[in-house]
Amino acid sequence: MKSENLLVTGGCGFIGSNFIRCMLADAGFQGRIINLDSLTYAGNPENLQGLAEEYADRYVFEKADICDASAIQEIFSRYRVDSVCHFAAESHVDRSIKRPETFIQTNIAGTFNLLEAARGTASQGSTFHLFHHISTDEVYGSLGPEGCFTEETPYRPNSPYSASKASSDHLVRAYHETYGLPTTISNCSNNYGPYQFPEKLIPLVILNALEGKALPVYGDGKNVRDWLYVTDHCEAIVEIMRRGTRGETYNIGGHAEMENISIVGMICDLLDEIAPAKAPRRNLITFVKDRPGHDRRYAIDFTKLNRELGWTPKESFATGLRKTVLWYIENRGWSERIRSGAYQNWIQENYGKRS
């Protein structure tokens, strides 16, 4: 990659932290990463522990909020940012239903601030290589029992979260078409893997099952998602940033459609095999009231990404899930600090008040 100073927003989050680890280990990238994160509840510097020492001249952290336009402009100028990989977003659907205003500010206004800073860099004659925007398959709405989302599928968001991400996608596209800003967009399916915040389905079920707690499943449990192992996702992003056509959108999927209830059952069976309990963990499954606007099925067609860039996922759902379960078992301390809130106190002591 040509970038010398790559700004990664939301780099202390789940996918962002995995991406930074992937980039710094990639021999094809010799630039510097500026990790910008406001350290909201899901941002945890522990996800990148040790990188500042290992890559002292290639990794820096900046605590800032993408909604603060002046702070963004100052960081672009100070670090001579020439590329952006934009992960920072409010991303939990349940939270968007309860507090939609936060999603509007972060996902729309925050993306606008980043685009303006990138446009300013390019208009001043400085080299700007790429603004890559991370989005979601949820912008396309809900599928019936057949078919898959393609890059040509019309947008039909059904939650405040997906509506805010759809808006940010449109802004990125508009800045390419209107101002000639070099951009790419990727819309991914549901991610899973190490460092995922335990409010999400897979880590929540793993940790609850290990502790003998109820395993909540919305509705009848037959909502279908296409699951993508986080390392596969990061490698796809690298390929898009490196060789993707500017102005284009690429869908990233795991080719792993699963019903929620099947995933919960698989986790129970894996844990019973790896860390047996007194009773089968499937006994802990509890069906709860469905959430409003719960899309029935998502599935991604990543033919374009495979055809143009040769990418395909390396992990099957079975292999990726086993790796994920083992990671959470081996990193119980990380999970306990997250769940107890102890990491929040550590962040406040080291980085000041949380955003």
Is the model's pLDDT at 354 over the cut of 90? no
Check 37, 62, 90, 137 and give the catalytic one. 137
Question: What integer pLDDT is reported at residue 62 of this predicted model?
Answer: 97
Question: What integer pLDDT is reported at residue 223 of this predicted model?
Answer: 94
Residue 73: pLDDT band with limits 50, 70, 90: very high
Is the model's pLDDT at 2 over the cut of 90? no
Question: What integer pLDDT is reported at residue 183 of this predicted model?
Answer: 98
Phi, psi at residue 13, to the nearest 5°? Answer: -85, -175
Average pLDDT rounded to a whole number, residues 313-318: 97
Q: Position 341: which residue type?
A: G
CA distance 336 to 339: 5
Helices marked H in 275-331? 303-309, 317-330
CA distance 185 to 173: 8
Is the model's pLDDT at 348 over the cut of 80? no
Average pLDDT rounded to a whole number, residues 163-177: 97
Q: What share of the chain is helix, strand, coil (3-state, %, to 5)?
A: 45, 15, 35
Strand partners, 229: 192
Question: What integer pLDDT is reported at residue 340 of this predicted model?
Answer: 78
Check 138, 169, 232, 301 and give the catalytic one. 138
Give the chain's mean pLDDT. Answer: 94
| Least confident residue range of 167-181, 219-233, 341-355 | 341-355
Question: What integer pLDDT is reported at residue 41 of this predicted model?
Answer: 80
pTM of the model: 0.94
Sheet holding 183-188, edge to edge: 59-63, 32-37, 5-9, 83-86, 130-136, 183-188, 249-252
Could you read off the pLDDT of 201-213 as tens digits, one per residue?
999 999 999 999 9
Is the model's pLDDT at 256 over the cut of 60? yes
Residue 346: pLDDT band with limits 50, 70, 90: low
Considering the domain 5-194+229-255+298-315+346-351 in this protein, what is its CATH number?
Answer: 3.40.50.720
Could you read off the pLDDT of 132-152 as tens digits, one per residue?
999 999 999 999 888 999 999
According to DSSP, the β-strands at 183-188 and 130-136 are parallel
Residue 125: pLDDT band with limits 50, 70, 90: confident
Cβ contact 251:305 at 8 Å:
yes
Is the model's pLDDT at 109 over the cut of 90? yes
Could you read off the pLDDT of 205-251 as tens digits, one per residue?
999 999 999 999 999 999 999 999 999 999 999 999 999 999 999 99
Could you read off the pLDDT of 21-32 as tens digits, one per residue?
999 999 899 999
269 assigned to active site: no
Q: Is 70 helix (H, G, I), strand (E, B) or coil?
A: helix
Q: Name the DSSP letter for residue 140.
A: G
Burial class (CB in 10 A: 0-12, 13-18, 19+), 82: buried
Question: What integer pLDDT is reported at residue 126 of this predicted model?
Answer: 87
Average pLDDT rounded to a whole number, residues 78-89: 97
155 assigned to active site: no
Is the model's pLDDT at 337 over the cut of 80? yes
- CA angle, corner 51, sides to 30 and 198, nearest 5? 120
Portion of the chain with pLDDT greater than 90, in percent: 83
Check 59, 79, 140, 161 and give the catalytic one. 161
Could you read off the pLDDT of 274-300 as tens digits, one per residue?
999 999 999 999 999 998 878 899 999
Cβ contact 87:10 at 8 Å:
yes
138 assigned to active site: yes
Residue 71: pLDDT band with limits 50, 70, 90: very high
CB atoms within 10 A of CB 178: 9
